[in-house]
Chain A
Amino acid sequence: MAEFFTASVLVTTFAAGVRLSMPFLLAALGETLGQRSGVLNLGVDGVMLIGAFFAYWTVLETDSRLSGVVAGLLVGLAMGVLYAVVTLVFHAEQGISGIGIFLFGLGMSELLFQELVGTPLPIPALTEAPIPLLSDIPGLGTMLFSHSLLVYAGVVLVVLLTWLINRSTFGLDLRAVGENPEAADSLGVSVIRTRAIAILIGNSLAGVAGAALTIELGTFQNNLTNGIGFIAVALVYFGAWRPFGVLAGSLLYGLVTATVTQLKVLDIVSGAAASLTTTAPAVLTVLALAVIARRSASQPAALTVPFERRH
Chain B
Amino acid sequence: MVRLQLPQKRGSTSYTAIQAAAIPVVAVLLALLVGAGMILALGANPLEGYRALFVGAFGSRSALADSAVRAMPLLLVAVGICVAFRAKVINIGGEGQIIAGAILSTIVALSVGDLPAVILLPLVLLMGMIGGGIWGAIPGAMKAYLGVNEILSTIMLNIVAVQIMNYLLRDPLIDPEEIERGTRIPQTERLPESADLPILVDGTRLHLGVIVAIIAAVVGWAFLWRTTVGFRVRAVGHSPHAARYAGMSVPRMTMLALSLSGALCGLAGATLVFGSQSHRLITDGSAAGFTGAAGFNGIVAALFGGLHPLWAIPSSFLFGGLLVGANAMQRAIQIPSALVVALNGLVVVFVIASNRLRDDLKKRAANG
Contact = CB atoms under 8 A, between A and B. Distances in A.
A51 B151 CA distance: 23
Nearest to A236: B152
Interface residues on A, range: 35 or more
Interface residues of B, number: 55
Interface string B242-269: 0000000000000000000000000000
Contacts, number: 165
Contact of A46 (B303, B345, B347): B345
A116 to B, nearest CB: 9
Contact of B341 (A96, A107, A234): A107
A105 B171 CA distance: 35
A86 B338 contact: no
A226 interface: yes
A278 to B, nearest CB: 5
B62 to A, nearest CB: 26
A100 B347 contact: yes
A90 B345 contact: no
Contacts of A46: 345
A127 interface: no
B318 to A, nearest CB: 15
A85 to B, nearest CB: 8
A286 B152 contact: yes
Given A92-B356, A95-B151, A107 B92 contact: no
A57 interface: no
B366 interface: no
B34 to A, nearest CB: 10
Nearest to A298: B147
A141 B357 CA distance: 58
Interface in A211-265: 222-223, 226-227, 230-231, 233-234, 237-238
Given A103-B300, A104-B342, A111-B336, A234 B170 contact: no
Given A114-B338, A273-B167, A97 B348 contact: yes
A272 B170 contact: yes
Interface string A87-124: 00011110111011111111110110011000000000
A103 B352 CA distance: 14
Contact of B149 (A104, A227, A237): A237
Interface string B36-78: 0010001000000000000000000000000000000000000
Main secondary structure of the interface of B (DSSP, over half): helix
B341 A282 contact: no
Contact of B157 (A223, A231, A286): A286
A149 interface: no
A231 B154 CA distance: 10
Interface stretch (B15-23, B102-110, B120-128, B158-166): B158-166
A102 B159 contact: no
A233 B338 contact: no
A140 interface: no
Contact of B355 (A92, A238, A275, A294): A92
B270 interface: no
B146 to A, nearest CB: 5
B296 A102 contact: yes
Nearest to B330: A114
29 contacts: A86-B349, A86-B352, A92-B355, A97-B348, A99-B92, A99-B300, A100-B300, A100-B348, A101-B349, A103-B345, A106-B338, A106-B341, A107-B341, A108-B338, A110-B336, A111-B338, A111-B342, A114-B336, A115-B42, A230-B158, A271-B171, A273-B167, A279-B160, A279-B164, A282-B159, A286-B142, A286-B148, A289-B149, A299-B149
Interface of A: 42, 46, 82, 86, 90-93, 95-97, 99-108, 110-111, 114-115, 222-223, 226-227, 230-231, 233-234, 237-238, 271-273, 275-276, 278-279, 282-283, 285-286, 289-290, 293-294, 299
Interface of B: 38, 42, 85, 90, 92, 142, 146-149, 151-153, 155-160, 163-164, 166-168, 170-172, 286, 288, 293, 296-297, 299-300, 303, 335-336, 338-349, 352-357
